[in-house]
Copies of this chain bind each other. A is one copy, B any other.
Amino acid sequence: MITFIFVTKRLLFDMRRDVFQAIADPVRRDIIGLLSNEPLTVNMVAENFEISRPAISKHLKILKECDIIDIDKQGREIYCIIKPEKLVPVFFWIEQYRKLWEEKIDSFEHYLNELQSKNK
């Protein structure tokens, strides 16, 4: 019985649940955008999209599992509150490549400048 529960849990929770997964979907990025202004109930979030409310519920569930949002139950309404600090790992991951792309963009601009001065 214990084994059964364990296996079930493993199957149910073996999916990747990290912030990179959370922001991979455009709908979830939009939800994050909405919640960054103010906490919203599930229905208020859903109003901003064409897809069904249960679909939004599922996206919110994934955001919860990735710990990007907290919930605050007020009676029968559930407010979703963003935890912006959970995005920081993405910032650090991307930041480590900043030097790389700045070099590349700089060298491209340098190339353009060279080209322009030659054509004068």
Which positions in A face B, CB cutoff 8 Å? 16, 20-21, 23-24, 26, 29, 32, 36, 82-85, 87-88, 90-91, 93-98, 100-101, 104-105
Contacts and interface: CB of A to CB of B under 8 A. Distances in A.
A38 to B, nearest CB: 12
Contact of A90 (B82, B94, B105): B94
A53 B37 CA distance: 45
A85 B104 contact: yes
A114 B12 CA distance: 42
Contacts of A95: 91
Given A20-B29, A85-B105, A36 B90 contact: no
Contacts of A29: 20, 93
Contacts of A26: 16, 20
